[in-house]
Amino acid sequence: MAEKWTYSFGAGAAEGSVKLRDLLGGKGANLHEMSTIGLPVPPGFTITTEVCAHFTDSKGDYPDDLNAQVNAAIAKLEATLGVPFGGDHAQGKILLLSVRSGARASMPGMMDTILNLGLNDETVQILAKQTGDERFAYDSYRRFIQMFGDVALGVDHYHFEDLLEDYKLDHGLNLDTDLTADDWRALLPQFIDTIESETGAPFPQDPFQQLWTAIGAVFGSWGNKRAQTYRKLHDIPEDWGTAVNVQAMVFGNMGEDSATGVCFTRNPSTGENHFYGEYLSNAQGEDVVAGIRTPQPLSVAEKENSGLHLPSLEDIMPGLYAQLDEVRNTLENHYKDMQDLEFTIQQGALWILQTRGGKRTTNAALKIAVDMVAEGLIDKAEAIRRIDPSQLDQLLHPTLDPDAPRDILATGLPASPGAASGKLVFSTEAAEEWVGRGEDVILTRVETSPEDIAGMYVAKGILTTRGGMTSHAAVVARGMGTPCVSGAGDITVDIKAKTLSALGVVLNEGDVVTLDGSTGQVMKGLVPTIEPQLSGDFGTLMTWVDEVRDLGVRANAETPEDAKVARGFGAEGIGLARTEHMFFDPQRIIHMREMILARDVQSRRIALDKLLPYQRQDFTELLRIMDGLPVTIRLLDPPLHEFLPRRKADIKNVAEVLGVTVEDVERRAKELHEFNPMLGHRGCRLAITYPEIYEMQTRALFEAAADVAESGGTVHPEVMIPLVADREEFKRLKALVVTVADEVLNARGVKVKYRVGTMIELPRAALTAGEIAKDAEFFSFGTNDLTQTTYGLSRDDAGRFLQIYREKGVLADDPFVTIDQDGVGELVKIGTERGRAQRADLQVGICGEHGGDPASVQFCHDIGLDYVSCSPYRVPIARLAAAQAALGVKAQDNA
């Protein structure tokens, strides 16, 4: 059997359907579908994506029998409409065609549409006769020449516009609409000449030649540079190809009984269930987009709502509006989703030109999904599938009051979402000092480095003038859930002078600025924020989500504020409380420094004893807030030098407070200096050398646990030992933890069930997970550091060359954002398998930044982890992503 290259549709029937989306493209498949369900679609046919593949592979050839099939499809179309393509002078009728591309996925960057195909110097006369409107005929012809020239032949638009401008100047005309049929008749030969002079070939008068040129242009545009780039960026395979839709023209500009419009079956901003759209009477689709005339509302209700006094379609053509409303119902009942459709009314007849799933805001998506469940259109699982988890992000952070005025200084990269206001400071030291006085600060740097960590911890927001979305500032800020704008290149910062200048404005230390980490805006002064307004629909959907998912979701949190937010967002415990964050508070860091400067165990213990009450207090609050849920406490992780002062003045101050010499402090800092701190003396290595640190932390934790338990709370502490490379390290430190914990609990006579486990963040730990699991009761994959070691990639340094990697296309995804499944993911799998082979009930989760990334959550679900842990504001995202994973939705389906 010969292959079928063309599929016809129209007049209540179609050879294709929405199931043939791969073959017919999205637009084509929907045209067939609408025909089949009886909607008034202008008849036509689709040339399949397989022809595109043939065209691409053969560099411009078509299958042998395509010509015959196209001719047959045209003949069928002519028969359906009773009008010949190329027109019939005698009959005074003409069949014009539109030619549109239509790939499986929407593809900006490709050739889009050619209208009015079939017109030439002769047939324009037939059209004039048929419509009785010469001006309309010539206007249609000139639109065709321009579009065909530009889109199919590559003759730039401006050639035609220049000619038109000259003509209008010469003839004292103002608007395009001022041109008469005669004017166009006079001008069009110049258009046609231009095409010949630009392309070296005459403008094709033959309708079939026009058609094949247009078809070739569509298929050719699949391979153009812009389309290739778009596909690369959006992971669209080269071999998908595009289809071509050839369809009879209908005209919305055939007089006052004609119109054209676009509409949504529900409100795409709010999701409310009312018909929403706009139209223009006596116009073609392009006129609605052009914005010269103000589009009018569709319904009376909408008109009243908008306060505009333009007549609605419902007012002017109530019958046609009712028909359209019927179409709306048919489409929603058929597609079970909100649709975005285009229609044209030609001389009192309604035609539907396109339908597709409508784009919507996240709030609308939530409302529509929940409403449709109530309406019985879809089930809960489908509602869950409908929401893109990454879209949720914008709903979940405090946002700037949209009604408040904004004095925007510059726009950088939206590096870490959320809004924050505070006083400008230009150094970590200043940040600590101002915060110590109770001020909110925005830490501003050219770039941040690990030396700025202390300042970043205390700042409300972070602003840098250099560095991208994976710069140190961006990554650390996201990890801390702190709003951040990075790479705001239009701002100049003078660190020494402590000034920030932009747009001629100079701000000094202490001046207030506001950051919007979700848009990258930097504003002068305080812009009030509003808390996230979560609709009831959100809550409803999240209930369904929790019914479906089997992957747990915890939060990374160490402050009471974060813990509360996390619990409010449905976190099922804390998966990572970074205890070192608790030491950066100005009141505490001095004791930390005392500990680091201590010369022997006794002095270290004395300093640690001073830290103990703070730490116990922190733990007590966390355990209270997370009553009944597990709380994973990671013992001290960063290298000690991160806690030491760097500036002369601070060193002097520390020396004075601690009663040592400046030289002592400097000597110690020098001793602790490391060339590769990421691979240095940190994590459990600190506790192998100074066990008293973990002893203090364990004591503080279990005293807190006892306190909370005694006052009626239910506590499930989980002690996490970081940076384990070898079972022996873990074994010894677990013994230390168990000894101290049991001692405290026995002394208090309190029973507390607890676990001791480890963070798997080194390749060796993943590889030897079977050994480590002999002692460890849980694993939490620290995928941030695991990415650094597996890739040999320092997050602090990689920003500069990763940028080039992405520009050159060497790397598709940032491995610090989406888990690298082939490398890091492979280790997570190996570690999980080996760990569970040793200990069947081993609890396994991840607690890197990836825990809040939908694609990574999907991966964690697929390989059977118990939970992910992410920053508090990403908890709902992770919950939704986990539910979708359980429903078998692939993360890229949302892309």
* Residue from 744, 557, 704, 706 nearest 621 by CA: 704
Is residue 847 part of the annotated active site? The answer reads yes
Q: Closest CB to a second copy among 789 and 871?
A: 789
User: Would you say 339 or 790 has its CB closer to a second copy?
Assistant: 790
* Under rule CB under 8 A, residue 680 binds a second copy: yes
Query: What would the 3-class secondary structure string for 60-122 be?
Result: CCCCCCHHHHHHHHHHHHHHHHCCCECCECCCCECECEEEEEEECCCCCCCCCEEEEECCCCC
**φ, ψ of residue 246 in degrees (nearest 5):** -110, 125
Here's the x/- map for a second copy, 813-852, by CB under 8 A: it reads as: -------x-xxx-xx-------------------------
Work out how close the CB of 770 gets to a second copy at its nearest, in angstroms, rounded to a whole number.
10
Which of 228, 273, 535, 794 binds a second copy (CB under 8 A)? It is 794
- The DSSP code for 238 is G
Q: Report if residue 764 touches a second copy, rule: CB under 8 A.
A: yes
| Among candidate residues 877, 888, 889, 886, the one with its CA nearest the CA of residue 548 | 886
Q: Does 677 bind a second copy (CB under 8 A)?
A: yes
Q: Which stretch binds a second copy (CB under 8 A): 229-237, 535-543, 758-766, 839-847?
A: 758-766
Confirm if 682 and 719 have CB atoms less than 8 A apart. no
Residue 413, beta-bridge partner list: 486
What is the DSSP code (8-state) at residue 377? S
Q: Is 806 in the site for a second copy (CB under 8 A)?
A: no
Which of the residues 684, 847, 860, 870 is marked catalytic? 847
Does 669 engage in binding with a second copy (CB under 8 A)?
Answer: no
Query: How big is the chain, counted in residues?
Result: 895
Residue 179 vs residues 138, 169, 176, 665: alpha-carbon distances, Å? 10, 12, 6, 85
What span, in angstroms and rounded, lies between the C-alpha atoms of 92 and 122?
12
Least distance in Å: CB of 663 to a second copy?
A: 15
> Residues 791, 806, 818, 833: which binds a second copy (CB under 8 A)?
791
**Interaction between residue 863 and a second copy (CB under 8 A):** no
Q: Which stretch binds a second copy (CB under 8 A): 339-347, 435-443, 581-589, 760-768?
A: 760-768
Site mask for a second copy (CB under 8 A), range 712-731, x = bound: -----------x-xx-xx--
Q: Please, what is the minimum distance in Å from the beta carbon of residue 124 to a second copy?
A: 54
For a second copy, give the closer residue by CB, 339 or 758. Answer: 758
- Comparing CB distances to a second copy, the nearer of 621 and 761 is 761
Site for a second copy contains 798 (CB under 8 A): yes
- Which residues on adjacent β-strands are paired with residue 278? 262, 297
- The least distance separating a second copy from the CB of residue 819, rounded to whole angstroms, comes to 12
Q: Is 489 in the site for a second copy (CB under 8 A)?
A: no
Report in angstroms how near the CB of residue 413 gets to a second copy at its nearest.
20
Q: Determine, following the binding rule CB under 8 A, whether residue 256 of this chain makes contact with a second copy.
A: no
585 touches a second copy (CB under 8 A) = no
What is the C-alpha to C-alpha distance for residues 611 and 241, in angstroms, rounded to an integer?
A: 64
The string of DSSP letters for 586-655 reads HHHHHHHHHHHH-SSHHHHHHHHHHHHHHHHHHHHHHHHHTTTSEEEEE---S-GGGGS--SHHHHHHHH
Q: How far is CA 145 from the centre of its chain?
A: 40
What's the first-to-final CA gap in the chain, in angstroms? 38
Binding test (CB under 8 A) with a second copy, winner from 674, 710, 743, 893: 674
Closest to a second copy by CB, 357 vs 677, is: 677
In sequence order, what DSSP letters do the residues of 23-38 get, joined into one string? Answer: HHHHHHHHHHHHHHTT
The rounded distance, in Å, linking the Cα atoms of 705 and 753 is 10
* Rg (alpha carbons) of the chain, rounded to whole number: 33
The nearer residue to a second copy, 158 or 801, going by C-beta atoms, is: 801
- Minimum CB separation of residue 174 from a second copy in Å reads 51
**Helix axes of 157-171 and 181-199: crossing angle, nearest 10 degrees:** 140
Q: Does 642 bind a second copy (CB under 8 A)?
A: no
CA angle 599, 602, 608 (to 5 degrees): 95
- CB 684 to a second copy: min, Å: 10
CB of 469: closest distance to a second copy in angstroms?
18
Rounded Cα gap, residues 803 and 486, in angstroms: 14
Of the candidates 678, 738, 750, 887, which one interacts with a second copy according to CB under 8 A? 678
CA distances from 712 to 703, 747, 750 (A): 14, 18, 11
Q: Is 797 in the site for a second copy (CB under 8 A)?
A: yes
Toward a second copy, which CB reaches closer, 19 or 647?
647
The total of other beta-carbon atoms located within 10 Å of residue 713's CB is: 16
Cβ proximity to a second copy, 287 vs 796, nearer residue: 796
**In this structure, are residues 478 and 849 in contact, taking their beta carbons and an 8 Å threshold?**
yes
Residues 422, 463 contacting (CB under 8 angstroms): no
Of the residues 32, 54, 472, 581, only one is catalytic, namely 472
- 808 binds a second copy per the rule CB under 8 A: yes
Q: Is 805 in the site for a second copy (CB under 8 A)?
A: yes
Q: Which of 481, 501, 476 is nearest to 424 (CA)?
A: 501
In the bound complex, what is the minimum distance in angstroms from residue 785's beta carbon to a second copy?
Answer: 7
Integer Cα distance of 531 and 551 in angstroms = 28
Any contact of residue 278 with a second copy (CB under 8 A)?
no
Q: Which stretch binds a second copy (CB under 8 A): 80-88, 271-279, 672-680, 745-753?
A: 672-680
Q: How far is the CB of 792 from a second copy (least distance, A)?
A: 4
CB of 857 to a second copy, least distance (A): 22
Which window, 27-35, 96-104, 216-224, 802-810, contacts a second copy (CB under 8 A)? 802-810
Choose, by CB under 8 A, the member of 336, 652, 681, 748 that binds a second copy.
Answer: 681
Pairing relationship of beta strands 484-486 and 461-464 according to DSSP bridges:
parallel
Distance CA 33, CA 19 (A): 9
Q: Which is nearer to a second copy, 449 or 543 (CB)?
A: 449
Which residues touch 338 (CB under 8 Å, ≥6 apart)? 264, 265, 266, 268, 271, 332, 357, 358, 360, 364, 368
Question: 493: alpha, beta or left, given left = phi > 0 and alpha = psi -120 to 50?
Answer: beta
Binding of a second copy by 763 (CB under 8 A)? yes
| Contact flag: residue 403 with a second copy (CB under 8 A) | no
DSSP letter string, 386-444: HS-HHHHHHHHS-EE-TTS---EEEE-EEEE-SEEEEEEE-SHHHHHHHHHTT--EEEE
Which range, of 106-114, 180-188, 332-340, 763-771, touches a second copy by CB under 8 A? 763-771
Stretch that binds a second copy, among 12-20, 226-234, 245-253, 764-772 (CB under 8 A): 764-772
Q: How far is the CB of 442 from a second copy (least distance, A)?
A: 23
- β-bridge mates for residue 341, sequence order: 263, 355
Answer whether 800's CB lies under 8 Å from 791's CB. no
Applying CB under 8 A, does 739 fall inside the site for a second copy? no
Determine whether 52 is an active site residue: no
CB of residue 577 to a second copy, shortest distance in Å: 22
Q: Which residues in the 427-456 window bind a second copy by CB under 8 A?
A: 449-450
| Residue 646 found at the interface with a second copy (CB under 8 A) | no
Residue 296: partners with Cβ closer than 8 Å, 6 or more residues away: 278, 279, 280, 281, 303, 308, 310, 311, 312, 313
Task: Indicate whether 688 belongs to the interface with a second copy (CB under 8 A).
Answer: yes
Q: How many residues bind a second copy (CB under 8 A)?
A: 50
Binding site for a second copy (CB under 8 A): 449-450, 674-681, 685, 688-689, 723, 725-726, 728-729, 732, 761-764, 767-768, 771, 785, 788-794, 796-798, 800-801, 804-805, 808, 810-811, 820, 822-824, 826-827
Which residues are identified as catalytic? Answer: 472, 847
